[in-house]
């Protein structure tokens, strides 16, 4: 086995339906997982769903369903959407999985044995939407920020995790890891938040108020706080086949709303408390907005990916999401932009090059790619052979910057189309004495198409597979096979099928 790479996504709440924002995060993680596989690494790609907590309990109740039945139903919707989007996850975490529940109970016992839990009566304010105590500090201009929903005074005995002990440790851990958070400005926000002393973290909820959770192993009158339960999925589902673990993750992908405090403060503190290593890196993405507004269930403006999958297909929606979002920022979704990208980048640039190349091989050589002859190659062939900026492509993917990686791939596709225009195989086909030249051009086109099929794989797995099949290539795509190396023997290719059929606006 080669080098290993473990990456995770946030696990989605199943109280609502999956929307375009969830789809983006899973697609981003998928492209990065596929990129790692393209580099020859063995990958564990973990995603899943967050099934406990108040919101799920309420949604189930509203439908008069047992919460587990409700979860089964909702989770099936997430999973099937991910399969339609070709999300190549290796494991799917469900927090209602009995093994996960046992693992969480084991971690709670460990915290207790280490003296890191305190049982005390706490009087304060409680946010119903966030299912947590909030402090006066959180008020802005005397009001509770919208994210907290209804906030009520509450007095309740609970189990608290001694989070305050970890503030300094986390801060120095983050300070000593300049690359821990991508993009870097998010790290600054987190370090600023860590300047203030941390309040203790309430880890329990009385069962009388919230029944849908993991019971505390040492006090069955309480269930576990949903974030503690959810964060631990990253470890509880990371076991490997040799009885070891994939943890620490090489990359954890999350949205900007769950960095502070969940993944930037609670998570490292919990890991430190359990003497587990921190993840190697967090990639924090921005939000997809629906014409400027945050998508949410409550405002009813969440975009459903399914109609777009029906109309454009999975590769096209993936490409749009991965190309249009610049790392860390927000992006605005619109039908016009998607159609525009489809027509220009996919139908014109990529689709056209593939179609022209394969149909000329069919027309002029009956579907056989001529064998390559070095001595025939001219400057144009040498240029296209060297045109792909692999270092820039790799760098961008290593940084999680899919937009730049795809821009690099599309620069190459643009060059490939220019090569066709300049080499003008149709002219060589007519000119007497140009048959060797025509052979060489066609071999260059087939080889260029093979390379493109490899470079687009992380974003467009279906198109990649289709092209490789048409080219008669059965080996799995690998970057180590992506150099220009046309075969010296001739070989047969299939008939081209349009990759991205025209769509009327």
Site residues (vs ligand MSP, CB under 6 A): 10-13, 21-22, 24-25, 50, 230-231, 254-255, 257-258, 287-288, 295
As measured in angstroms, the least distance from the Cβ of 193 to ligand MSP is 17
As measured in angstroms, the least distance from the Cβ of 420 to ligand MSP is 38
Give whichever of 194 and 289 is closer to ligand MSP, judged by the CB atom. Answer: 289
As measured in angstroms, the least distance from the Cβ of 279 to ligand MSP is 12
Measured between alpha carbons, how far is 52 from 226 in angstroms, rounded to an integer? Answer: 6
As measured in angstroms, the least distance from the Cβ of 288 to ligand MSP is 4
As measured in angstroms, the least distance from the Cβ of 295 to ligand MSP is 4
As measured in angstroms, the least distance from the Cβ of 421 to ligand MSP is 39
Give whichever of 180 and 388 is closer to ligand MSP, judged by the CB atom. Answer: 180
Instruction: Annotate 2-45 with DSSP letters as a single string.
Output: --EEEEEEPPEESSS---HHHHHHHHHHHHHHHHHHHTT-EEEE
Measured between alpha carbons, how far is 34 from 427 in angstroms, rounded to an integer? Answer: 40
Residue 6: strand pairing partners:
44
As measured in angstroms, the least distance from the Cβ of 275 to ligand MSP is 20
Give whichever of 11 and 38 is closer to ligand MSP, judged by the CB atom. Answer: 11
Give whichever of 334 and 359 is closer to ligand MSP, judged by the CB atom. Answer: 334
Residues in CB range of 129: below 8 A, 6 or more apart: 147, 148, 149, 150
Give whichever of 55 and 451 is closer to ligand MSP, judged by the CB atom. Answer: 55
Measured between alpha carbons, how far is 317 from 161 in angstroms, rounded to an integer? Answer: 43
As measured in angstroms, the least distance from the Cβ of 171 to ligand MSP is 22
Residues 51/94, Cβ–Cβ less than 8 Å: yes
Give whichever of 255 and 477 is closer to ligand MSP, judged by the CB atom. Answer: 255
User: Within 10 A of 20 (CB to CB), how many other CB atoms are there?
Assistant: 20
As measured in angstroms, the least distance from the Cβ of 100 to ligand MSP is 12
**Widest CA span of the chain, in angstroms?**
94
Give whichever of 302 and 443 is closer to ligand MSP, judged by the CB atom. Answer: 302
Residues 153/136, Cβ–Cβ less than 8 Å: no
Residues 369/493, Cβ–Cβ less than 8 Å: yes
Q: Which residue is nearest to ligand MSP (CB)?
A: 255
Give whichever of 25 and 439 is closer to ligand MSP, judged by the CB atom. Answer: 25
Instruction: Annotate 397-465 with DSSP letters as a single string.
Output: HHTT-HHHHHHHHHHHHHHHHHHHHHH-HHHHHHSTT-HHHHHHHHHHHHHHHHHHHHHTTTT-HHHHH
C-alpha radius of gyration, the chain, whole number: 26
Per-residue burial over 345-360, b = 16 or more CB atoms within 10 Å of its CB, e = otherwise: bbbebbbbbbbbbbeb
Residue 13: strand pairing partners:
50
List phi, psi (to 5°) of 164: -60, -25
Give whichever of 21 and 183 is closer to ligand MSP, judged by the CB atom. Answer: 21
């Amino acid at each position: 086995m080669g080098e290993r790479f473990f990456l995770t996504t946030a696990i989605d709440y199943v109280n609502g339906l999956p929307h375009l924002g969830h789809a983006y995060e899973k697609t981003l993680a998928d492209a990065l997982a596929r990129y790692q596989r393209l580099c020859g690494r063995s990958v564990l790609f973990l995603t899943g769903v967050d099934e406990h907590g108040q919101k799920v309990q309420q949604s189930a109740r509203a439908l008069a369903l047992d919460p587990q039945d409700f979860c089964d139903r909702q989770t099936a919707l997430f999973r099937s959407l991910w399969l339609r989007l070709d999300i190549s996850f290796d494991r799917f975490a469900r927090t209602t999985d009995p093994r996960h529940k046992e693992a969480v109970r084991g971690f709670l016992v460990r915290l207790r044995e280490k003296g890191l839990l305190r049982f005390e009566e706490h009087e304060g304010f409680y946010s119903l939407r966030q299912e947590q105590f909030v402090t006066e500090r959180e008020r802005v201009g005397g009001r509770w920020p919208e994210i907290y929903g209804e906030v009520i005074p509450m007095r309740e005995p609970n189990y608290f995790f001694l989070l305050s002990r970890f503030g300094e440790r986390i801060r120095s851990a983050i300070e000593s890891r300049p690359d821990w958070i991508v993009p870097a400005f998010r790290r600054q926000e987190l370090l600023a938040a860590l300047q203030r002393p941390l309040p203790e973290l309430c880890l329990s909820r009385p069962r009388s108020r919230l029944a849908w959770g993991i019971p505390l192993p040492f006090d069955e009158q309480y269930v576990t706080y949903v974030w503690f339960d959810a964060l631990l999925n990253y470890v509880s589902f990371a076991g490997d086949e040799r009885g070891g673990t994939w943890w620490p993750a090489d990359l954890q992908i999350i949205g900007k709303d769950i960095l502070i405090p969940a993944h930037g403060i609670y998570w490292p503190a919990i890991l430190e408390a359990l003497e587990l290593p921190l993840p190697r890196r967090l990639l924090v993405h921005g939000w997809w907005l629906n014409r400027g507004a945050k998508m949410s269930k409550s405002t009813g403006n969440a975009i459903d990916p399914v109609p777009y999958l029906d109309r454009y297909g999975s590769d096209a929606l993936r490409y749009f999401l991965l190309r249009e979002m610049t790392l860390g920022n927000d992006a605005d979704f619109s039908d016009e932009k998607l159609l525009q990208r489809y027509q220009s980048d996919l139908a014109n640039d990529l689709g056209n090059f593939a179609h022209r190349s394969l149909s000329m091989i069919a027309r002029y050589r009956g579907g056989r790619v001529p064998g390559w002859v070095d001595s025939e190659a001219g400057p144009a062939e040498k240029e296209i052979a060297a045109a792909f900026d692999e270092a820039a492509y790799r760098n961008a993917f290593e940084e999680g910057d899919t937009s730049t990686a795809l821009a690099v791939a599309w620069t190459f596709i643009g060059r490939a189309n220019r090569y066709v225009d300049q080499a003008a195989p149709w002219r060589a086909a007519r000119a007497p004495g140009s048959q060797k030249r025509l052979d060489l051009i066609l071999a260059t086109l087939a080889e260029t198409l093979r390379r493109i099929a490899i470079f687009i794989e992380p974003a467009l797995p279906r198109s990649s597979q289709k092209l490789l099949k048409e080219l008669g290539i059965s080996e799995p795509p690998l970057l180590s096979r992506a150099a220009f190396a046309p075969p010296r023997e001739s070989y047969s290719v299939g008939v081209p099928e349009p990759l991205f059929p025209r769509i009327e606006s």
